[in-house]
Amino acid sequence: MVHNVPMRLVLASASPARRATLIAAGITPIVRVSTVDEDAVLATLPGGRAFSGGTTTPTDEVAALAAAKCADVCEALAQGDPELPEGDPVLVVGCDSMLEIDGQMLGKPHTPDVARERIRAMRRTSATLWTGHSAAILAPASSRHEGTAEERTVSASLTRSASTQVHFGDISDAEIDAYVATGEPLHV
């Protein structure tokens, strides 16, 4: 017999695009941004980074980052959160994306100059967008002590990745400058 159990979704991502996609699908997530040091996670991958003489793949990289972000937020939520109803399971989803272009994996540009340079280099080219998603269900712990806050533990988790080809059009320098001025491309 299947029971309907209310479940809140926690998005372990600061991405406005991911949040907007969920909202457009009728899901309003609680957003909790991870404190994961992405460079440190990538540095620990066995065999070294993809395309830097290492044996890891782009799939390995985005999956490791998504899993680390999900685990980080799960750990933070395990002791409770005022927005999460006690007694209900919580679905935590961590995500990461990187662009592979010309045999190089690119993360967020972070600065306007790097964003402009990358967008100009991508004009009239194609690239592969790699995305990793990691989901975990935090369920109430089986034992609870009187007078203590409810704790949650991970009862199930899954990490997967996928890729898609992205084709870039011919965008003018003025259009690139206007887009970079919005701030959006600094974080994607």
Looking at the annotation, which residues are catalytic? 96
SS3 content of the chain, % helix, strand, coil (to 5): 30, 30, 40
Alpha helices, DSSP H only, in 45-172?
Answer: 58-77, 112-122
| Residue given tokens 């080809």 in the structure block | 165
The C-alpha atoms of residue 47 and residue 17 are separated, in whole angstroms, by 32
DSSP 168: -
